Amino acid sequence: MKGIIYSMTVITLAACSTKKDMLQAPQAKKIEKKLTIHEDTRIDNYFWMRLSDEQKEAETPDAQTQDVLDYLNAENEYLKQVMKPTEELQESLYEEIVGRIKQDDQSVPVKINGYLYYTRFEEGQDYPLYCRKKGDQSATEEVLLNMPEMAKGESYFAVGGQSVSENNELLAYSVDLVSRRQYTIHIKNLATGEIYPDEIKNTTGGMTWANDNKTIFYTKQDPITLRSYQIYKHILGTPVEDDILVYEETDETFECSVYKTKSRKFLMISSYQTLSTEYRFLDADTPDGQWKVIQPRERNLEYSVDHYADYFYITTNLDAKNFRLMKTPIDQTEKSNWSEVIAHREDVYLEDIDIFRDHLVITERKNGLIELRVIKWSDYTEHYIKFDDPTYTAYTSYNPEFETDILRFGYTSLTTPQSTYDYNMNTMQTDLLKQQAVLGGKFSPENYTSERIMVTARDGVKVPVSIVYRKGFKRDGNAPLLLYAYGSYGYSMDPSFSSIRLSLLDRGFAFAIAHIRGGQEMGRDWYEDGKLLKKKNTFYDFIDCGKYLVENNYTSSEHLYAQGGSAGGLLMGAVTNMEPNLWNGIIAQVPFVDVVSTMLDESIPLTTGEFDEWGNPKDKVYYDYMKSYSPYDNIEAKDYPNILITTGYWDSQVQYWEPAKWIAKLRDLKTDDNQLMMYCNMDVGHGGASGRFKRYKETAMVYAFMLQLEGIKQ
């Protein structure tokens, strides 16, 4: 094949004199590319793998595109041949995973503006029906979107935002057919079923109605970087090309979005980046009015806005690293008018609020665990909702109704399936509305044990780790264990139940989540100690958690596996370079591994908005630090563990060429005979396959990768 070096046209078995027969892996061609900045030159032999969107979308591939396609397809074929002995196991795992899923499932209805909205799946369908009933459950069902019909013939299909007009007659919804986060908005008349010709392309997928039932506000993206930077106003029935630009975000480090407050009285434009936010508001009854800024943006000032009565409620880090709650009159919104409602606390991170007519519900994080705090407006008496598991996830669910004493919340743990509750904030009575069904007849929570331990990292910091395993698990160092983490963007990786994971637990695996720095589990400092020039704390924490699990006989290096995706894939690449002998296997999903080159290229989606997360390598201090941990730049001629990489050709968040270059360089330099494989799904992007079941084919492949390394064949 042109441009790729193979020892044979079709990948076949090649003789190996010292080991059992091995498959011939594809070897990518090298074209030296010198990348120079700060008087430092990096050599990238695989820079040629990068294609533009125009090249990818062209009907006839040019020579470079064909080279890339040939290489990616060769990697896929190589993986298929290496994994061929596990085909029956993969199929068995897939059937097992799908067999636990209730196929004719339905969500708990949510009441919005007089209607009960819900989604339901029909037997064997990958996609749900989006439905509603007027008044109560006895009413006739209306199918708003028949997604199984809409998805027919599409290799990828996803519905983004959905918004119903105030008069309940019109539905705006968005669709992505490529998996590049570029949505087209459509409008449907719910009475007649007519799809209006108003078709709005290249949006983020989110939209909201003004209260006049004819005006829609939506967010447009930059077609190259996919930065959400413009808010437009569309009037039903008018040409889309005549839509009015109401706001443009000119700072390339910011993005923007538009939404309506829970009170349904105000439209909000949110401008945001890592360290700063800014909000504008407009009376939802006057969509042609003038937008007003609540508080002008300032460096290191973050805030979010809710509305109640005559006040805006402001959750902010103003003089409060772990955030506090303020309020301000609607006609006097700048921070000089803000007054405190809930003070800052050093040991509690204020994560979110939900406002009701008679109650305020606060989501807090203390000692790494979520707490739900209920406060009564009339006298400020308060209480916490109690949870019993040692490690768990609790969260306020979608609560669109304002005049109610019922809080809808969700709860799950490593041993408790996803559960939806209604909680009476006056009587403190909790009603279980639905718990995720686990079919097959083999699951019982009593068969599994979860733990929460604190691991002392190398700098003395205590890192929480959540662990689950089947009862009877022996801590003798012989059991396989999968350690998972993310550790970026302040995103907390809370423990939750997975019926899919049972396929590992029931085969003797333990599963652990390392709540490492870079997340926000332990408060704002936890995040700030794992980004920019402290990013290596993220990697050190994960390594130290792995070593603890080995030293305390939960597993051994011969049976320890690590998994992470996206920024968690960066984590996988870093710890593989830093401690290659600690792991038997690494699963890196859509991994962000070419950090320096990506952060130097402002045409790539997400780059400009992330300088405050990773640093700007145009500054030599950040360049040097980034280069010191970037997985692609730190590959060496040494032994590496078994590695499985997954990616998507249409990924807009971590472009396919990062993992493709990474595996090519690894294969060229590594000195071991361990497995090194990559699967590139040629039809999807960052989130993987769409649909309810297709994605589990890849899960079964990942599980089979680990199981075959453990010698587990069934």
Which residues are tagged catalytic? Answer: 566, 651, 686
3-state secondary structure of 397: coil
Taking a C-beta distance cutoff of 8 angstroms, is the pair 283, 265 a contact? yes
What type of residue sits at position 34?
A: K
Residue indicated by tokens 């030293």: 551
d(CA 180, CA 665): 27
Cα 580 to chain centroid distance, Å, stands at 27
d(CA 387, CA 398): 20
676-681 and 642-648 strand pairing: parallel
Taking a C-beta distance cutoff of 8 angstroms, is the pair 130, 144 a contact? yes
Rg of the chain taking only CA atoms, in angstroms: 26
d(CA 370, CA 515): 13
392-396 and 406-413 strand pairing: antiparallel
Q: Is 85 left (phi over 0), alpha (psi -120 to 50) or beta?
A: alpha
Query: Which runs of E-coded beta strand occur in 222-368?
Result: 228-235, 244-248, 255-260, 266-272, 277-283, 292-293, 303-308, 311-316, 324-329, 339-342, 349-355, 359-366
Number of neighbouring beta carbons within 10 Å of residue 117: 20
Using CB atoms within 10 Å of the CB of residue 328, give its burial: 0 to 12 exposed, 13 to 18 middle, 19+ buried.
buried
Number of neighbouring beta carbons within 10 Å of residue 247: 17
Which H, E and C letters describe 378-429, residue by residue? CCCCEEECCCCCCCEEEEECCCCCCCCCEEEEEEEECCCCCEEEEEECCCCC
Beta bridge partners of 281: 268, 292
Taking a C-beta distance cutoff of 8 angstroms, is the pair 508, 479 a contact? yes
What's the length of the chain?
A: 714
Q: What b/e string do you get for 556-565 counting C-beta neighbours within 10 Å, with b at 16 or more?
A: beebbbbbbb
Long-range contact set of residues 468-471: C-beta below 8 Å, sequence gap at least 24: 468/414, 468/415, 468/495, 468/501, 468/505, 468/510, 468/511, 468/512, 469/505, 469/509, 469/510, 469/511, 470/505, 470/506, 470/508, 471/446, 471/447
3-state secondary structure of 457: coil
d(CA 582, CA 542): 11
d(CA 599, CA 655): 12
Taking a C-beta distance cutoff of 8 angstroms, is the pair 86, 68 a contact? no
Cα 449 to chain centroid distance, Å, stands at 27
d(CA 232, CA 261): 18
d(CA 375, CA 378): 9
d(CA 599, CA 629): 14
Tokens of 66: 């064909």
d(CA 526, CA 531): 9
